């Protein structure tokens, strides 16, 4: 019988896993301890591991002669020693599309809140104010430009939503052609063009070596004084120290950050204090449906493997 061990998770119960694996004729075990020695022992007797944040290193992989697949609830697979897994013929799968609607909505909500100055008015009225002049006069949506950094699944969905509202949308992505973007009514642009001319800049590149601090001093200094930056991707894409400086000095209008260089953000971090910053705690993905989808898809990866099929979300 194909055996799967659930190493770690964030769910209230594991009834969904239990029922899906039972229906597929798979033996399902939940690891009770997160101790490394327990993970090694469990891996030894498993055909597949289901993980959330647990680190699966060389020692675990080399002690697991039957292991065929590691499936992760989520996108990033940096906690798995991919090199050793590949060497040992162990496949790795993830779920890379469980929150495309949620994250694109979150970026859209940030753009719209910035555009209509909701957060400025809310702060002012909550301390007794009542004046539309409290906020800088906004542009009409069809006169404003949104620049997307990266043009993968999430920004593509965001662009569809923005176009319906009337925004001009440009995107920077060296790996997506001008023709592909034009099919969505999006104009391909350089990074500098986006930084200099957009009213809202929304970050969606993955965090890789090439994008670490992609947005630094030079790029932030290109921004209009009236522009907002929105980051729902990964904190380290922006050089946060410089971002804090430009926000403090009012050199840009504001920032909406779902992600920060360090998570959780320290209690005393300056970003928490700045009036022109709106923070959310890496929550852009969060919804009833995303919660279920991430589980069903990570489980399905394993069921497929047990049936001799390559998992749908196999990491190449």
Ligand X SMILES: NC(=O)c1ccc[n+]([C@@H]2O[C@H](COP(=O)([O-])OP(=O)(O)OC[C@H]3O[C@@H](n4cnc5c(N)ncnc54)[C@H](O)[C@@H]3O)[C@@H](O)[C@H]2O)c1
Residues catalogued as catalytic: 234, 263, 282
Q: Which of 24, 135, 176, 244 binds ligand X (CB under 6 A)?
A: 176
The interface mask with ligand X, positions 271-290, x = CB under 6 A, is -----------x-xx-----
Q: Does 210 bind ligand X (CB under 6 A)?
A: yes
Q: Which of 75, 187, 242, 314 binds ligand X (CB under 6 A)?
A: 75
Q: Does 259 bind ligand X (CB under 6 A)?
A: yes
If the CB atoms of residues 103 and 120 are measured against ligand X, the closer one turns out to be: 103
In degrees, to the nearest 5, what angle opens at C-alpha 196 toward C-alphas 191 and 200?
A: 90
Q: Does 205 bind ligand X (CB under 6 A)?
A: yes
Q: Does 183 bind ligand X (CB under 6 A)?
A: no
If the CB atoms of residues 41 and 153 are measured against ligand X, the closer one turns out to be: 153
If the CB atoms of residues 164 and 210 are measured against ligand X, the closer one turns out to be: 210
Q: Which of 142, 175, 183, 316 binds ligand X (CB under 6 A)?
A: 175
How far is 94 from 71, CA to CA, in rounded Å?
A: 6
Per CB under 6 A, which region of 13-21, 51-59, 123-131, 145-153 contacts ligand X?
Answer: 145-153
Cβ-based neighbours of 35, under 8 Å, separated by 6 or more? none
Q: Does 158 bind ligand X (CB under 6 A)?
A: no
Q: Does 99 bind ligand X (CB under 6 A)?
A: yes
Q: Which of 47, 219, 240, 258 binds ligand X (CB under 6 A)?
A: 258
Per CB under 6 A, which region of 82-90, 119-127, 228-236, 297-305 contacts ligand X?
Answer: 228-236
Q: Does 153 bind ligand X (CB under 6 A)?
A: yes
Q: Does 5 bind ligand X (CB under 6 A)?
A: no
Q: Does 73 bind ligand X (CB under 6 A)?
A: no
Q: Does 204 bind ligand X (CB under 6 A)?
A: yes
Using CB atoms, what's the residue nearest to ligand X?
152
Question: Which of 228, 211, 200 is CA-nearest to residue 173?
Answer: 211
Q: Total number of residues binding ligand X (CB under 6 A)? A: 28
| Residues lying near ligand X in the complex (CB under 6 A) | 75, 99, 103, 150-155, 172-176, 204-207, 210-211, 232-234, 258-259, 282, 284-285
């Amino acid at each position: 019988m194909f055996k799967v061990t659930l190493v770690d998770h964030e769910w209230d119960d594991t009834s969904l896993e239990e029922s899906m694996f039972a229906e597929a004729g798979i033996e399902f075990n939940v690891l009770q301890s997160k101790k490394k020695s327990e993970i090694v022992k469990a891996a030894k007797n498993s055909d597949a591991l289901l993980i959330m944040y647990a680190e699966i290193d060389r020692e675990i992989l080399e002690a697991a002669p039957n292991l065929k697949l590691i499936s992760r609830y989520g996108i990033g697979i940096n906690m798995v020693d991919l090199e050793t897994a590949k060497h040992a013929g162990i496949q790795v799968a993830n779920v890379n599309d469980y929150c495309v609607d949620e994250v694109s909505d979150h970026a859209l909500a940030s753009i719209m809140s910035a555009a209509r100055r909701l957060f400025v008015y809310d702060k002012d009225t909550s301390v007794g104010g009542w004046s539309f002049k409290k906020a800088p006069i906004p542009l009409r949506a069809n006169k404003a430009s949104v620049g997307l950094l990266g043009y993968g699944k999430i920004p593509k969905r965001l662009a569809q939503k923005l176009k319906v509202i009337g925004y001009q949308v440009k995107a920077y992505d060296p790996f997506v052609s001008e023709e592909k973007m034009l099919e969505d009514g999006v104009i391909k642009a350089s990074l500098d063009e986006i930084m200099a001319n957009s009213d809202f800049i929304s970050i969606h590149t993955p965090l890789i070596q090439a994008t670490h601090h992609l947005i630094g001093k030079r790029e932030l200094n290109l921004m209009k004084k009236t522009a907002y930056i929105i980051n729902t991707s990964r904190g380290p894409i922006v050089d946060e120290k410089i971002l804090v400086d430009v926000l403090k000095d009012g050199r840009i209008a504001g920032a909406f950050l779902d992600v920060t260089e360090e998570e959780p953000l320290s209690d005393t971090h300056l970003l928490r204090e700045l009036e022109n910053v709106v923070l959310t705690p890496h929550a852009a993905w969060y919804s009833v449906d995303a919660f279920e989808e991430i589980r069903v898809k990570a489980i399905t990866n394993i069921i497929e493997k047990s049936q001799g099929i390559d998992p749908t979300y196999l990491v190449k």
